[in-house]
Amino acid sequence: MRDAVRFMLGDELVRVSGISASLSVLDWLRGTARLTGTKEGCNEGDCGACTIVLVRPRHGRLDYRAVNACTLLVGMLDGAQVLTVEHLADGARLHMVQQAMVDAHGSQCGFCTPGFVMSLYARAKQPKSERVDAAEALAGNLCRCTGYAPIIRAAAMIDAHEAPDQWDRRSKETLARLEALHDGTTLCLGDGDTCFMAPASEDELAHLLVQHAGGKDAGRPTLVAGNTDVGLWINKKLMRLDPIFWLGGIDSLKQIAESNDHIEIGAGVTYSEAQAKLVGLFPETGALITRIGGVQVRNSGTVVGNIANGSPIGDMSPLLLAAGASLGLRRGEHRRKLALDEFFLSYGVQDRAPDEFITHVSVPRLKPGAVLKAWKISKRADQDISCVMMAVWLDYDGARINDIRLAFGGMAGVVCRARACEARLRGGPWTRQTLAAAQAQLREELQPISDMRASAGYRLDVACNLLERLYIETVERAPTRLPDASLA
């Protein structure tokens, strides 16, 4: 076991030990390292003022990712290079990204600026073919002064002028230094009161979890993958978590395994990593999958974490529920497989023992003739909680519905299937008449709550409308475009 987290801060190798398990990277950077360029605008992953870039080896090259420092724990930096806004300029020469922000007048009060600079920087580090649209790349960053247009212009300037920077010139050396940090030992970081563990293998995690859950005075272990949900418990609910088990040190959980009839997404796989595969499986849900959180949230947050969190408004759960996914769980040496339907028991309760963890989610491929569609209705295009989400898997032969799975988010205390409505539709002709009957059934079956986001009545109306949209898109075939639930 190692008791210090090791990472590169810019060019410097640092070892940190003796800190609280739940210390955030943002607090460490600003408080301990005195790098105050990284800002706190919300401390809950929403504004991107704290955006930094994490560099990790991946397939033999360096992979640059923008992440929010406020929802990142210091232990999660293990083996990475951290670049902050202070690390971009080369001596007195501004980095090309910074120069573009100046030239485009992309900064006014400047408080959001370091975050935008880092998001633009991470985007510039992606191969051109993989670079997302600037507005999408910046969806995780809020600015109250500029109205964004100049920052979008800066992104275009960056795309037009490209040149290697000082980090590119040092990439071979950095790669070697980072790979050398990957020593296969378990990290156990703590200050005597709390402990952050990063097991190096699945077996070790299984073993440690059972040991801790059984221990007399040990606290209830908290599993952390990307920390985008757990980080808010720490920052906003001021929860004291001990011990924390981070999955990020386990290589085997970072795999996506493919077979002829399904793919398995490991518990350490982030949205960003899974995105392309999921869109490949379910092309019609692309717009939804690429809109979860902002880039920073997608670079940290995991698909499995979204499911494990059990939120009634999580986006992946309805999608994967409709897709017919199942979970792989492990407790000690015991492994089991569980249909996703059976995982969500009631609000805040899932079928998982405290010392059990999810190893992967297994997602079946679509069989010929079937489609998977999903719609998320929220106020804003990006990074907004959905008031209603509907996902549907439909096996339809042109006249008859052979089979259907309808899953909803935001319509009950848990993500749920509308089984009675499915039964109404299954085996029936796909007609306006069947649709009307299914809508009536839906109104009977679902009892959403009213809150400040939407009333129960609105949610039901929207759910019924989405069913109609399904009909239009699959039968009347117009419009074919995916609906934008919000401003876009």
Partner 1 sequence: MKPMKFGIGQAVRRVEDVRLVTGHGRYTADEIPEGALRAVFLRSPHAHAAFRITDTSAAKAVPGVRAVYVAADFADVGDLPCNAPMPDAKGKVMPLPPYPVLAKDVVRHVGDAVAMVIADTAENAMAGAEAIAIDYQEKPAVSDMHRAIAAGAPLVWPQFGSNVAVAAVMGDKAKCDAVFASATHVVEVEIVNNRLVSNYMEPRAAIASFDAATGGYQLISGTQGVHNTRGLVAKIMGIEPEKLHVVNHDVGGGFGTKGFVYREYPLLLKAAQKLGATIAWVSDRSEHFVADAHGRDNLTKATMALDGEGRFLALKVDILGNMGAYLSQFAPYIPWLGVTMATGPYDISVFYGEMRPVYTNTVPVDAYRGAGRPEAAYVLERLVDACAMKLGLARDAIRARNFVKPSQMPYKTATGRTYDVGEFEGAMRQALSKADYAGFAARQAASAAKGQLRGIGFASYIECTAWGSGEEGSVQLDEDGNFTVLIGTQSNGQGHETAYAQVVAQSLDVPLERVRVIQGDSQKVKSGNGTGGSRSIPVGAAMLNQASEKLAVQLKELASDVLEAAVSDLEIIEGRVIIGGTDRAISFAEIAKLPKATPERRLAVASFSPPEATYPNGTHVCELEVDPETGAVKLLRYTICDDFGMSLNPLLLAGQVHGGIAQGIGQALLEGVTYDDNGQLLSATFMDYCMPRAEDLPSYHFETRNVPSITNPLGLKGAGEAGSIGSTPAVMNALIHALSARGVTHIDMPATPAKIFAALR
Ligand X SMILES: Cc1cc2nc3c(=O)[nH]c(=O)nc-3n(C[C@H](O)[C@H](O)[C@H](O)COP(=O)(O)OP(=O)(O)OC[C@H]3O[C@@H](n4cnc5c(N)ncnc54)[C@H](O)[C@@H]3O)c2cc1C
Interaction site with ligand FES (CB under 6 A): 40-43, 45-50, 68, 70, 107-113, 143-146
Which among 11-19, 350-358, 415-423, 456-464 is the span making contact with partner 1, rule CB under 8 A? 456-464
Give the pair of three-digit tokens for residue 336: 């089991």
Q: By CB under 8 A, which span of 53-61, 97-105, 222-230, 410-418 interacts with partner 1? A: 97-105
Report how far residue 6's alpha carbon sits from residue 11's, in angstroms, rounded to the nearest whole number.
13
What CA–CA distance (Å, rounded) separates 321 from 340?
A: 6
- Binding partner of residue 461 among partner 1, ligand X, ligand FES, none, CB cut-off 5 to 8 Å per kind: partner 1
SS3 assignment for 27-86:
HHHHHHCCCCCCCCCCCCCCCCCCEEEEEEEECCEEEEEEEEHHHCEHHHHCCCEEECHH
What letter represents residue 471's amino acid?
A: Y
Catalog residues that contact ligand X under the rule CB under 6 A.
Answer: 45-46, 71, 222-230, 247, 267, 292-293, 297, 300-302, 304-306, 308-309, 314-316, 357-358, 383
| 387: partner contacted, choices ligand FES, ligand X, partner 1, none (Cβ within 5-8 A by kind) | partner 1
| Least CB distance to ligand X at residue 385 (A) | 7
Residue type for 424, please?
R
| Residue appearing with tokens 């929010």 | 68
Q: Is residue 340 a contact point for partner 1 (CB under 8 A)?
A: no
| Residue 200 or 454 with smaller CB distance to partner 1 | 454
- Under the criterion CB under 8 A, does residue 107 sit at the interface with partner 1? yes
Task: State in angstroms the smallest separation of the CB of 48 from ligand FES.
Answer: 5
The H or E element that residue 407 is part of is strand 401-409
132 in contact with partner 1 (CB under 8 A): no
> Residue 273 touches which of ligand FES, partner 1, ligand X, none (CB < 5 to 8 A by kind)?
none
**Cβ-based nearer residue to ligand FES, 134 or 372:** 134
Residue 111 backbone class (left: φ over 0; alpha: ψ -120 to 50; beta: rest): alpha
Q: Which of 8, 54, 80, 88 binds partner 1 (CB under 8 A)?
A: 88
b/e per residue, 435-455, with b = 16+ CB within 10 A? beebbebbeebbebeeeebbe
Task: Return the residue of 383, 386, 439, 441 that touches partner 1, per CB under 8 A.
Answer: 383
Number of residues that bind partner 1 (CB under 8 A): 81
70 binds, among ligand X, partner 1, ligand FES, none (CB under 5 to 8 A by kind): ligand FES
Tokens of 223: 């599993």
Q: Which CB sits closer to partner 1, 49 or 223?
A: 49
50 contact choice in ligand X, ligand FES, partner 1, none (CB below 5 to 8 Å, kind-dependent): ligand FES
Calpha distance 292→272 (Å, rounded): 10
Element spanning 202, H or E: helix 202-214
Q: Dihedrals φ, ψ of 381, to 5°?
A: -65, -45
Range 219-238, binding partner 1 (CB under 8 A): 236, 238
Please tell me what DSSP assigns to residue 90: B
What is d(CA 474, CA 27) in angstroms, rounded to the nearest whole number?
51
Q: Which is nearer to partner 1, 150 or 266 (CB)?
A: 150
Phi, psi of 223 (to 5 degrees): -85, 140
The least distance separating ligand X from the CB of residue 229, rounded to whole angstroms, comes to: 3
